[in-house]
Amino acid sequence: MNGAFAEYIVVPKRIVEQNLYEIPEGIEFGRAALPEPLACAVHGVVRMPIATGDAVAVIGAGQIGLMFVRLATERGAPSAWTGARTGSPSPTSWEPKRR
């Protein structure tokens, strides 16, 4: 949809009816935003089946990367690794983290 990064946009009714959900009373915006990145991680695990005993490496230790690590270990990966940037922005500054 064009203009999705604009402050305000007009969303067609058919998209609103099919893709938007009202945030229930008492749910914070931060919590309400979690299902979308979790869906991305779940989609990744489904597309890349992980079997018991597989070692998994995840590039990126952001929200989706950490969700992917958790899902990988839930699927039976005995170890799942991710990287976190340390100090310098160079590609060699990644330090592996083990869960």
pLDDT at 71: 93
Give 29-85 pLDDT, tens digit per residue. Answer: 989 989 989 999 999 999 988 889 998 888 888 889 889 989 999 999 987 777 766
41-54 burial, b for 16+ CB within 10 Å, e for fewer? Answer: beebbeeeebeeee
CA proximity to 32, closest of 44, 20, 15, 46: 20
Q: What is d(CA 95, CA 77) in angstroms, rounded to the nearest whole number?
A: 20
Instruction: Answer with the residue of higher pLDDT: 2 or 15.
Output: 15
pLDDT at 79: 78
HSE (CB half, 13 Å, CA atoms) of 10? Answer: 1
pLDDT at 87: 58
Cβ atoms 56, 71 nearer than 8 A: no
pLDDT at 40: 93
